[in-house]
Structure 1
Amino acid sequence: MTPFKTLIALAAMLAAGSARADDGTCSNSSLQGQYAFKAQGANVGVLDATGALHPFASPWLVNGAGYFTFDGNGSLTKVDYMGNGTPSINPAIPLTDDGFRTGQTGTYAVDEDCTGNLVFDVPGGREIHVAFSVISFGQGVFGVVKSEHAPTLPAAILPAGIMCDSGC
């Protein structure tokens, strides 16, 4: 079966200082250093290969905070604390003593018009794609999760007739 993607309605705001391009355009170097974020939203269902949404019986709430560290060349790392009313989402990945998830890496690309995309991997096989807009040539970033691919989802939350044998 074609892999499914989890649709997430989640917005994140990132804020920090950074470099400004001399010509008034943005590039990967517009994002350098740590950018804190907070996130609130819900996983609302599973998209099939045609893009049709198969909603969950109840949205899967997500709340979190953390930071991205951008290197100015298209690579990033991420540390976060994500919860859904339980102590931790995906507790098997590396955690700090305070319950923050570590070990997340990824890539990003900033276009000249100061929009861009990033993708990061969460240990355990999850891949998350984010569309973002850079503010004031690197002073801040607003982003929205576009999609998330998980190697599996609990059968109890899957919509009727949906299988995740190749990932969701």
Structure 2
Amino acid sequence: MTRKFWKGAVLASAALLTVSGTAHAEDKCSNATLKGLYGFSLRGEFIGFFDADGNPHRIPNPDIVDAVFIQKFDGTGAFTRSDYVSSDGFKRPGLTDPTTGFDTGETGTYTVFPNCTGVMHITFPAPIASTIIDIRFVLTEGGHRLHGVVSHQEIAGPFTAEDGTTTCGPTPVCHMRAQESVVGEKFDVEGTRGQTRDW
């Protein structure tokens, strides 16, 4: 009887620890988890756009997009950003710093959910103030790494669909069919890659 009792107690304890660990894992992130300076890379392509009724259209020659950027998160839901974006082999226009060649003056907001998923909303100054990008992401390594995909993007365009008649942009802007992935990593306060973890 004693042996059966202890076996049952051990199994119950293991189950409790599993449930407790799962609950902890699903309740460990917040906006404060994403704080400090991060370096990012983005790669993907514009494969088409959506018309005014939300119908998808492909473009004849998808534009390949590559970008690198830095974002500084404040830990409360806002960030500033600087980037360099190449689209189909050409640098995207922007408020360009004459020294670095990176575009500046970009800002945004973000929300991190308790399960360590999140969303960020990026806005841009002139001359591309019509551009908007939303990214859905997952945080790993205690918030030191971010993996994301572009979930919504608006740009001025213009683009013409494969049918040769359906167009979008520049007014109203194009709601793009964007297939882009993002990877980010946290840097320390001096701007070099952090070798230690504070979690």
Task: With the length of structure 2 as denominator, give the TM-score of the two structures.
Answer: 0.66
User: Which one has the bigger helix percentage?
Assistant: 2
- Deviant stretches of 4+, over 3 Å: none
List aligned pairs for 1:83-162, cutoff 5 A. 83-84=86-87, 85-86=89-90, 88-90=91-93, 92-123=94-125, 124=128, 125-150=130-155, 152-154=156-158, 157-159=159-161, 160-162=165-167
Shift of residue 49 of structure 1? 4.2
Say if 2:157 and 2:168, in contact at 8 Å, map to a contact too: no
Structure 2 portions without partners, runs of 5+: 1-23, 175-199
2:73, 2:80 within 8 Å by CA — same for their partners in 1? yes
Q: Which structure has greater strand proportion?
A: 1
SS state at 1:137 partner: helix
Q: Which has the larger radius of gyration?
A: 2
SS of corresponding position for 1:95: coil
Does the CA contact (< 8 Å) of 2:117 and 2:138 recur in 1? yes
Pairing 1:25-104 to 2, within 5 Å after superposition: 25-84=28-87, 85-86=89-90, 88-90=91-93, 92-104=94-106
Q: Assess, with a 3 A threshold, how the Cα gap between structure 1 residues 96 and 26 changes in structure 2: closer, same or farther.
A: farther
1:61-110, CA deviations, whole angstroms, 9 ceiling, x for partnerless residues?
11111211110000011111111212x102x4233423111111000000
* Unmatched runs of 5 consecutive residues or more in structure 1: 1-20
Larger relative contact order, structure 1 or 2 (CA cutoff 8 Å, min sep 6): 1
Aligned length: 143
Counterpart of 2:85, as a letter, is M
TM-score w.r.t. the length of structure 1 is: 0.77
